[in-house]
């Protein structure tokens, strides 16, 4: 019977390497075609004058010099800075609510569903909804009139340059992300060892002290990741809400890099100049990604 028995083939390290490359090459080609090539092309077009139809004309650093003196670009950077200032509140609010809901109070599942509702609707629907609610003839204004508030029409916060960006920042950075943050932090808190809280109870620690000295240190990596995600959304995921709610106005009060790229590229047909804006946005997102990678590596080394 040994004549008909064949020893099973042994795969060498070379065979495994070849198999790995066969599996990974299609992914590399797709990434090169849909990620690397567009990024490199954008860098090239940022040094040209191009309307998307005619042949691009190389202009060197002209787009970047123009960008520095452009009031729209300066306003977008200022607005991005204001949006970033709301990120700590956007992190602490869901973290605190999750810590309260974790106590298992009656009806906490209902509150969790209510907080998560804005994530289900999406930014476009939310933009239209808030535009109707807070308009000068909307329900909020009408309620204020019935309550006897003088000049209720002036409550239209999106119509004032000083309040538009702050209202938008609170809605996007804090309120809309509140439900997802609660679910995310509740999931992270479920992995905390209950013995830590028992030990804190024995020491007579208050709820606030347990939150500061037990909860936060136990989910520090989750907090860091959520913060990085907030930065990414502020830089690259605000277009839908701004388009439907404010249109970048009044004036340039809610103008951002992302919205400016859309206007310059698809409305003004200044694709070369828009590419220069996109390079700035790419650099900002790249810095955020590097910080995230550093945090992950630091966490893995601990």
Least confident piece of the model among 63-72, 207-216, 264-273: 207-216
Q: Is 251 helix (H, G, I), strand (E, B) or coil?
A: coil
Least confident piece of the model among 45-59, 99-113, 179-193: 99-113
CA angle 142, 144, 149 (to 5 degrees): 130
CA angle 141, 146, 151 (to 5 degrees): 50
**Structure-token pair, residue 155:** 């409550």
Span 148-153, mean pLDDT?
A: 76
Per the structure, the complete domain to which residue 287 belongs is given by 62-301
Instruction: Check: CB of residue 255 under 8 Å from CB of residue 213.
Output: no
In the block, tokens 């809400």 appear at: 241
> Is residue 4 included in any domain, yes or no?
no
> Is residue 235 included in any domain, yes or no?
yes
Q: Which of 184, 186, 178, 187 is nearest to 126 (CA)?
A: 178
Q: Which of 188, 182, 216 is nearest to 200 (CA)?
A: 216
> Is residue 46 included in any domain, yes or no?
no
Span 221-247, mean pLDDT?
A: 89
Residue 202 has pLDDT above 80, yes or no: yes
pLDDT for the residue numbered 9? 53
> Is residue 271 included in any domain, yes or no?
yes
> Is residue 23 included in any domain, yes or no?
no
Residue 280 has pLDDT above 90, yes or no: yes
CA distances from 198 to 50, 89, 103, 187, 204 (A): 66, 29, 14, 20, 10
pLDDT for the residue numbered 10? 54
End-to-end CA distance of the chain, in Å?
56
Span 208-219, mean pLDDT?
A: 89
Span 235-247, mean pLDDT?
A: 89
User: For residue range 6-19, what is the model confidence (pLDDT) as tens digits?
Assistant: 555 555 567 778 88
Per residue, what are the HEC states of 24-85? HHHHHHHHHHHHHHHHHHHHHHCCEECCCCCCCEECCCHHHHHHHCCHHHHHHHHHHHHHHH
As a whole number of angstroms, the distance between CA 258 and CA 237 comes to: 8
Q: Is 57 helix (H, G, I), strand (E, B) or coil?
A: strand
Confidence of residue 59 (pLDDT cuts 50, 70, 90): very high
**Burial label, 130 (beta-carbon count in 10 A; 0-12, 13-18, 19+):** buried
pLDDT for the residue numbered 7? 52
CATH number, domain of 284, equals: 1.10.3720.10
Cβ neighbours of 49 (radius 10 Å): 16
Confidence of residue 236 (pLDDT cuts 50, 70, 90): confident
pLDDT for the residue numbered 23? 87
pTM for the full model? 0.84
Span 38-48, mean pLDDT?
A: 94
> Is residue 187 included in any domain, yes or no?
yes
Instruction: Check: CB of residue 266 under 8 Å from CB of residue 150.
Output: no
pLDDT for the residue numbered 1? 47
Residue 296 has pLDDT above 80, yes or no: no
Instruction: Check: CB of residue 226 under 8 Å from CB of residue 185.
Output: yes
Instruction: Tell me which of 299 and 205 has the higher pLDDT.
Output: 205
Instruction: Check: CB of residue 264 under 8 Å from CB of residue 277.
Output: yes
> Is residue 117 included in any domain, yes or no?
yes
Instruction: Tell me which of 105 and 95 has the higher pLDDT.
Output: 95
Instruction: Tell me which of 167 and 3 has the higher pLDDT.
Output: 167
pLDDT for the residue numbered 63? 95
Span 117-145, mean pLDDT?
A: 81
pLDDT for the residue numbered 163? 86
CA angle 76, 77, 78 (to 5 degrees): 90
Confidence of residue 74 (pLDDT cuts 50, 70, 90): very high
Q: Total structural domains in the chain?
A: 1
As a whole number of angstroms, the distance between CA 216 and CA 260 comes to: 38
**Burial label, 172 (beta-carbon count in 10 A; 0-12, 13-18, 19+):** buried
pLDDT for the residue numbered 299? 64
> Is residue 31 included in any domain, yes or no?
no
Average pLDDT for the chain:
85
């Amino acid at each position: 019977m040994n004549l008909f028995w064949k020893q099973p083939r042994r795969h060498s390290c070379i065979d495994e390497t070849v198999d790995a490359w066969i599996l990974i090459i299609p992914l590399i080609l797709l990434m090169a075609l849909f990620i690397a090539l567009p990024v490199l092309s954008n860098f090239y077009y940022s040094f040209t004058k191009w309307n998307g139809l005619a042949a691009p004309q190389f202009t060197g650093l002209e787009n970047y010099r123009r960008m520095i003196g452009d009031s729209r670009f300066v306003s977008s950077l200022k607005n991005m800075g204001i949006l970033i200032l709301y990120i700590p509140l956007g992190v602490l609010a869901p973290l605190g609510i999750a810590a309260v809901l974790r106590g298992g109070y009656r009806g906490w599942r209902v509150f969790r569903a209510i907080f998560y509702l804005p994530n289900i609707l999406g930014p476009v629907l939310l933009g239209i909804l808030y535009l109707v609610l807070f308009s000068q003839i909307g329900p909020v204004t009408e309620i204020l009139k019935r309550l006897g508030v003088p000049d209720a029409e002036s409550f239209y916060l999106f119509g004032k340059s000083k309040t538009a960006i702050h209202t938008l920042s609170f809605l996007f950075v804090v309120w809309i992300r509140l439900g997802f943050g609660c679910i995310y932090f509740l999931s992270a808190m479920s992995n905390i060892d209950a013995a830590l809280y028992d030990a804190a109870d024995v020491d007579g620690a208050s709820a606030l002290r347990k939150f500061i000295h037990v909860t936060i240190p136990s989910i520090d990596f989750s907090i860091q990741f959520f913060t990085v995600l907030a930065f990414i959304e502020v830089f690259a995921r605000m277009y839908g809400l701004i388009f439907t709610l404010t249109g970048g106005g009044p004036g340039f009060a809610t103008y951002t890099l992302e919205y400016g790229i859309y206007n310059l590229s698809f409305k003004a047909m200044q694709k070369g100049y828009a590419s220069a804006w996109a390079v700035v946005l790419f650099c900002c997102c790249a810095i955020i990604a590097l910080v995230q990678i550093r945090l992950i590596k630091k966490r893995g080394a601990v």
